[in-house]
Structure 1
Amino acid sequence: MLPQAYRMRDGDEFRRTIRRGASAANDAVVSHVALTDAPGVRVGLVVGKKVGNAVTRNRVKRRIRHAVVPELAGLPDGSRVVFRALPPAAARHDLSADVVDGLHRAVRRSTTKRG
């Protein structure tokens, strides 16, 4: 489970992260990462109806959260991360590799973009 302190809840924060952040995509997930001056790390998930019904969407969200929790400690302070699940994510039994790969590529791009 994603600790409450890491959850992104504000719609404006989602929009800023997606618009201003660096992104990396693969078949199942698009990862957006923006570096801010605000303290802490925040993570948000976007899983639309094209992914599947409510049961499928919730399963995809759980799998993404499970994959990202071990990576939180390695993210730079001030990171804002949004994962957007794509329809093929529903068919993946193990999203971990897609999530972690996309996250690391987006973080590399965001540090290059910032600096």
Structure 2
Amino acid sequence: MLAAAQRLRRSTDFAVAIRGGRRASRGVLVVHLDPTGPSAPDLSAETTTTPEPASGAGAGHEPPPVRAGFVVSKAVGGAVIRNKVRRRLRHLVRERLDGWGLPPGTTLVVRALPGAADAPYARLGVDLDAAVAAARSPRKPSRRSR
């Protein structure tokens, strides 16, 4: 299970990551990665009420955590299948979150496509790693600018 501070819960957080982030699709997953996602709500409330020291040392604030959310629609299957896919994805993300080296405050949304219901656990992991790597890689210049 992901820690409470690492979970996306509000639809606005999902919308910001999906609209403003980078998207990559691999296999049965689509990943939306927003490295400039909003910080944790409790940290932003503290910074508006208390001024920070100028030196930054001794501030006592940890950087906002990387947060993740999951979208598994009814197209994937019934409630039991959707929850099974969501549990698998949550476990895969929890295992890999530190290994990806995402910057603090990054928002990650993992969307399962209908094929995820029948995909083995190992394939979900491979697709997830490939999609996150593709979303993190710099964009290639387009050919249309001639």
TM beyond 0.5? yes
Mapped pair 1:63 → 2:88: yes
Deviations 1:75-114 (A, max 9, x none): 211110001100000010121111121112212248xxxx
RMSD: 1.5
Percent of paired sites with the same residue? 43
TM superposition shift of 1:70: 2.1
| Superimposed CA distance per residue, residues 1-56 of structure 1 (whole angstroms, 9 cap, x where no aligned partner) | 22211000111110010011001102210000001262221100000000000110
TM value normalised by structure 2: 0.70
Unaligned ranges ≥5, structure 2: 40-63, 140-146
Match of 1:51, SS state, is coil
Tell which structure's C-alpha radius of gyration is larger: 2
More strand by share: 1
> Which has more helix, going by share of residues?
1
Q: How many residues are matched? A: 110
Aligned to 1:33: 33
Matched with 2:22 is: 22
Could you tell me which residue of structure 2 aligns to residue 113 of structure 1? none
Q: Which runs of 4+ in 1 moved over 4 A?
A: none
TM-score by length of 1: 0.88
Which of residues 115, 136, 140 in structure 2 aligns to 1:88? 115
Amino acid at match of 1:100: D
Unaligned runs of at least 5 residues, structure 1 = 111-115
